Amino acid sequence: MVLWWIGNAVLFFVVLPVVIALMNRILAAVERIRAASDDILTHGVELTVELEDVPALLARTDAVVEQVAAGATRYAGSVARLLPAKA
């Protein structure tokens, strides 16, 4: 019976405070994650307004990429004529 009381005392004075401390750390991390996710949601919704111009910007970017590709092809052709042929 004495061992039972010693076990209860160890549980109450050692294990229980450790469990409470660990739970406190876990709950603090969960609260930080919740605050960060709320912040992401708020600013993500605000960001969607900025995405309305994306199709027009992509069309302009595609035209620029085509011009750069044409210039790079011309450059590569000129360089190929200057370099000696491989044996």
Instruction: Please name the amino acid found at residue 23.
Output: M
pLDDT the model gives residue 36: 96
pTM reported for the whole predicted model: 0.48
Structure confidence by residue, pLDDT tens digits, 27-63: 999 999 999 999 999 998 888 888 888 888 888 898 8
Residues across the chain = 87
Domain annotation covers residue 21: yes
Domain annotation covers residue 87: no
Residue corresponding to tokens 């600013």: 43
How many separate domains does the chain show? 1
Domain annotation covers residue 50: yes
- Residue-number span of the structural domain to which 56 is assigned: 2-82
Q: How far apart are CA 12 and CA 19, in angstroms?
A: 10
